[in-house]
Amino acid sequence: MNRWLMIMFLLMGIQINSQQSGLIMGKVTDATTKQPIPGVNVFLLGTTFGAATDDKGEYSIRNIPVGSYQLRASAIGYDPTVKTDVIINAARPAMIDFQLKESIIELGSVEVTADYFTKVPTEVNSIKTFN
| Domain annotation covers residue 31 | yes
Query: Three-state DSSP class for 39?
Result: coil
Question: Residue 86 burial by CB count (10 A; 0-12/13-18/19+): exposed, middle or buried?
Answer: middle
* pLDDT tens-digit map of 5-18: 556 555 555 445 45
| Domain annotation covers residue 35 | yes
Q: Are 103 and 79 in contact (CB under 8 A)?
A: yes
What whole-number distance in Å separates Cα of residue 54 and Cα of residue 28?
10
| Domain annotation covers residue 130 | no
| Domain annotation covers residue 77 | yes
| Domain annotation covers residue 83 | yes
* pLDDT tens-digit map of 94-122: 999 999 999 988 888 888 876 666 666 67
CATH code, 65 = 2.60.40.1120
Q: Does 39 score more than 70 pLDDT? A: yes
Range of the domain at 83: 17-100
**Residue 46, pLDDT score:** 93
What whole-number distance in Å separates Cα of residue 102 and Cα of residue 10?
53
**Residue 19, pLDDT score:** 56
pTM exceeds 0.95, yes or no: no
Domains: count for the chain? 1
| Domain annotation covers residue 80 | yes
Query: Quick one: what percent of the chain has pLDDT higher than 90?
Result: 62
